[in-house]
Amino acid sequence: MKKKMISMMLCAAMTAAMLAGCGGNNAADTSAPAAEDGAGEETPEAEAPEAEAPAEENTEAEDASAAPADGTLVMATNAYFEPYEYYEGDQVVGIDVEMAQAVADKLGMELKVEDMEFDSIIPAINSGKANIGVAGMTVTEDRLKNVDFTNPYTTATQVIIVQEGSEITGEADLTGKTVGVQLGTTGDIYVSDMDGVTVEQYNKGMDAVQALTTGKIDAVVIDNEPAKQFVSKAEGLKILEEEFVTEEYAIAIAKGNEELLGKINTALDELTADGTLQAIIDKYITAE
Ligand code: ARG
């Protein structure tokens, strides 16, 4: 099996960014569906789970003046990414949430989870609205220009999901096809950079998977663990064995916040050394 390493991903990310900057074809093609898929679908679903916290309803519109209170560690995430973060009733649970809770405990802080669009997470950190971004977020060169990352807490891969009878057996077969991704993710960056592939961007991974189920698109590229969850909940889909890219997830923090970065890295080291982190992962992911 062919496995490309993270450096490939970084190259792809940088190339995609350059294309976007130059108004290259790929980037121009892909920006259109995002706008369509975005506004209309997201709002009603995204607001429903927040009903339990009416005071927070407008937080996304707030600016740096809404900086988190002392003693509160605000975690920005996108809670449609099981098993890392997802809703159980009106509560956001998952590996990232439990890990962040364990970190907050070590720091003597109270954890507050803010659910938002994936591509709002880095802006939320930079505006001071959130202290940390924990969202199965892959470390990329591009993101490192805007935020710092802690030491990685897990590795992941991008995989391809197709319909069971699909003629697509690997990355090479995606040429001429329409591929769904979650907007702003590494899967999006990677597929957007592929020649001859049409990208459809969705606000949630599950929306892409649904489009695949109905035959609207030919494949979905997404992180391996959420892919397993989505496929298990859908009919007639499978994950191809070929893995696209190996990545590392880490916690994002505002640039220059060395103190918090140091404290969280120490907490992560301790949680790794005493087995807590692995226990949290094992609770959500069954080893194969
Ligand atoms: N690992 C991918 C990335 O960093 C996807 C993360 C999506 N996370 C989420 N909570 N929706 O781009």
Q: How far is the CA of 77 from the centre of ligand 1 (A)?
A: 9
Domain shared by 81 and 148, yes or no: yes
| Number of domains composing the chain | 2
Same structural domain, 142 and 262: yes
State the Cα–Cα distance between residues 249 and 25, nearest whole angstrom. 30
Listed range (22-26, 53-57, 108-112, 141-145) with the worst mean pLDDT:
22-26
Go through 196-209 and write b for each residue having 16 or more CB atoms within 10 A of its CB, e for each that does not: ebbbbbbbbbbbbb
Residue 18 lies in a domain: no
Give the distance (Å) from ligand 1 centre to CA of residue 72: 24
Same domain, 140 and 191: no
Q: Are residues 137 and 192 in the same domain?
A: no
Residue ranges around ligand 1 (CB below 6 Å): 77-78, 80-81, 85, 118, 135-138, 182, 185-186, 223, 247
CA-closest residue to ligand 1 atom 5: 185
Residue partners of 103: CB distance under 8 A and separation at least 6: 73, 251, 264, 267, 268, 271
145 and 169 share one domain: no
Does 269 lie in the same domain as 204? no
Q: Could you tell me the pLDDT band of residue 23, with boundaries at 50, 70 and 90?
A: very low
Asked if 147 and 68 sit in the same domain, the reply is yes
| Domain carrying residue 105 | 64-153+250-284
Which atom of ligand 1 is least distant from the CA of 205? 11
Query: pTM here?
Result: 0.79
Same domain, 139 and 202: no
The predicted-structure confidence for 65-123, as pLDDT tens digits, reads as follows 455 668 999 999 999 999 999 999 999 999 999 999 999 999 999 999 999 999 999 99
Ligand 1: atom nearest CA of 185 is: 12
Alpha carbon distance 50, 186 (integer Å): 27
**Ligand 1 centroid to residue 182 C-alpha, Å:** 8
CA separation for the pair 46, 141 (Å, rounded): 29
CA gap 152, 184 in Å, rounded: 20
Same structural domain for residues 161 and 232?
Answer: yes
Atom of ligand 1 lying closest to residue 78 CA = 10
- 273 in a structural domain: yes
Confidence of residue 44 (pLDDT cuts 50, 70, 90): very low
Is the link from the previous residue into 54 a cis peptide, with omega within 30 of 0?
no
Residues 110, 125 share a domain? yes
Same domain for 254 and 146? yes
